[in-house]
Structure 1
């Protein structure tokens, strides 16, 4: 498999990934910024790919341990190499595995960037790595949510990033086992419809749902907004449990 090496988090991390087929975009970086992890906690990255979200989170929060699993051994192998290349192999580990058989638990936080497309409605790529990364297989969205809830301990958080047109389905599934749900719509630019959402809930929290103020990712001229730029290039955190009506940042670690 031919690879390329890219830089993320303002050159804080180098990321080896397939040159063709599946390539991590900004979604896992944005997802990682919303995880309220603290030193000493354990985090699970379900569907870790080449390790983008796990490594971004570990680079931002010192003293956490992150474990990622993915169905594709080729991507996991790259994730392992990425952890070593960034000096994070002592805190960030990866393994190939099927979430349908995953039994580990007791994580403080679980983050998930699952395949976005339902198989029955998707146009499936001929590239097998891209197809598995983008289109649901045996594990449907319900299974991803159930696995995440089973893996997190009471009081812990589960956070998904997904397509906005599946937000209702995702919210209903998460509400079955999580409380204090909050949804952050991600807009291509101000005034546009949401393309992605980040949805977070807590195991054992009271039922409830809060729609947060939408986050425009780009200015009208195509540049990243100041908030997006701070997250992508300055490793800023955006903890959803601290947001009110206004989007606000916490200082980078």
Structure 2
């Protein structure tokens, strides 16, 4: 199904990635770039982008990890179609396969993955005012799956010792940790993203591994902007250079 919203073509990673997305609907910004940077995918590993949208995170990951393969799962067919279009636009259609489907009932034969990365809807059901644009509202507000259900679906799709990586609003960290409890995961790592050095974190990146028992780690985090408002060199290295952000690994692997 073709999107009904007008489209724009935008650029990521200092112009190296082209991204077609709705002008007024769901739009990828910097969150998927940081999410992709935090996934330590290795050559030959299978990655799932759960709720892939137009494919921003998957494409950023593949720009850094060209020997990995990514499957996208997106509930909205219009966005999944744009993800396929973006894969072809960036000559990554052989490595990125966006599918239309529901994380609560994945397509048969999807299998298990070495990594699941995801940017779940930020807002709980019936919280705040829904966006006027239906596609944007669906992307930003929980629907059939709440945050706990989303995390349950992600963990279920991991192979043993596979890694979940997600980005979310910092104020929902308690909900994320509660949702991970009892899911058979460990080596949970929390990395805050601070807008400035003297500001509270606005986002957190959370990693966890299936079937390990290493303790939770609170990591030093990343400051995004200097006092002048410009991105810090560390943030620029990710946003423009496609550098890895991999402090989520390194926990002791205790089975």
TM range (shorter): over 0.9
CA offsets, 1:137-179, max 9 Å, x none? 0110111111110101011100110011100110121232210
1:130 is matched with which residue?
136
1:200 is matched with which residue?
207
Q: How big is the alpha-carbon RMSD for the aligned residues of Structure 1 and Structure 2?
A: 1.3
Matches within 5 A, 1:156-167: 156-167=162-173
1:142 aligned to 2:148? Answer: yes
1:66 is matched with which residue?
70
CA offsets, 1:182-224, max 9 Å, x none? 0001111101001110000101111411100121111111100
1:40 aligned to 2:47? Answer: no
Is the alpha carbon distance of 1:184 and 1:241 closer, same or farther for their aligned partners in structure 2, counting shifts above 3 Å? closer
Partners in 1 of 2:229 and 2:180 — Cα distance?
33
CA offsets, 1:48-83, max 9 Å, x none? 000000010011102111001111111111100000
1:221 is matched with which residue?
228
Partners in 1 of 2:53 and 2:71 — Cα distance?
12
Partners in 2 of 1:230 and 1:189 — Cα distance?
17
Partners in 2 of 1:67 and 1:9 — Cα distance?
21
Q: Which of 100-109 and 197-206 deviates more?
A: 100-109
Partners in 2 of 1:80 and 1:106 — Cα distance?
21
Native 8 Å contact 1:212 1:243 kept in 2 = no
1:169 aligned to 2:175? Answer: yes
Is the alpha carbon distance of 1:150 and 1:243 closer, same or farther for their aligned partners in structure 2, counting shifts above 3 Å? closer
TM-score by length of 2: 0.93
TM-score by length of 1: 0.93
Partners in 2 of 1:22 and 1:242 — Cα distance?
30
Question: Which secondary structure does the structure 2 equivalent of 1:146 belong to?
Answer: helix
Task: Give the deviation of 1:242 after TM superposition.
Answer: 4.4
Higher helix share: 1
1:240 aligned to 2:250? Answer: no
Native 8 Å contact 2:191 2:248 kept in 1 = no
Task: Give the deviation of 1:11 after TM superposition.
Answer: 1.3
* Runs (5+) with no aligned partner, structure 1: 245-253
Partners in 1 of 2:250 and 2:162 — Cα distance?
18
Runs of 4+ in 1 over 4 A off after TM superposition: none
2:30 is matched with which residue?
26
Task: Give the deviation of 1:12 after TM superposition.
Answer: 1.4
Partners in 1 of 2:179 and 2:238 — Cα distance?
28
* Runs (5+) with no aligned partner, structure 2: none
2:18 is matched with which residue?
14
1:5 is matched with which residue?
9
Match of 2:117 among 99, 111, 123: 111
